[in-house]
Amino acid sequence: MLLNHLWGLYAHPTTEWQNIQRSQTGLVGSLIYLAVLALLPSICVFISTAFIGWGFSALGKEITVLTLRSAIFIAVAGYFALIASVVALGYLIYWMSSTFGSVASFSQGMKLAAYAATPLLMAALALFFPHPIFFMVVSLLAGLYSVYLLYCGIPVIMHVPEDRRFIYITSILVAALVLLMCVLVAGILLLNFGLQPIYRQP
């Protein structure tokens, strides 16, 4: 079922949202989907930072590699940060829904957030070519496709009227940006408390 949804969200997103809605997986199913798919970025972060290394120069010749302990810490912390962020977004989607004429539940808001986050989570595969510019381009494209999935999924999952869909998705994007800023601030605070990554020679 997991692979079917992954393929369907790329091949025929509107139809796949209808399949997701009919599946009646509920809150637990959405959380399981998120928990499994969020493993991909964590695994990619661990492998790229501990074994492949990052190239920060223009030509990517200067490689930066972390110790295994630092790579594991970043991967695990990132895993829980991703899950917490998507769950928080799902709650905000549900919380704002009544303002836009929806009677959806938190379970439906979580479903929309979890499945719409699929392209962003899959973008972690770009970490196997760990150059900042390449990763930013892939992440940007994945983010745009996630926005498109939200736009397609809102009327199916949240039952928001057509004339309010654009304002609703704009509100969701603003909420997502606020969550992103909170995660970045939390990361900076962790660094200030002495949890800086430890580098090693590649």
- For the segment 81-91, the average pLDDT, to the nearest whole number, is 93
Residue 87 above 90 pLDDT? yes
**φ/ψ bin of 159: left (φ > 0), alpha (ψ from -120 to 50), beta (otherwise):** left
SS3 of residue 95 by DSSP: helix
Q: How confident is the model at residue 202 (pLDDT cuts 50, 70, 90)?
A: low
Residue count (the chain): 202
Question: Residue 200: beta bridge partners?
Answer: 65
Residue 156 above 70 pLDDT? yes
Task: Give CA–CA dist 31/25, Å, rounded.
Answer: 10
Domain residue spans in the chain? Answer: 2-200
- The pTM (predicted TM-score) of the whole model is 0.88
Tens of pLDDT, residues 8-41: 899 899 999 999 888 867 899 899 999 999 999 9
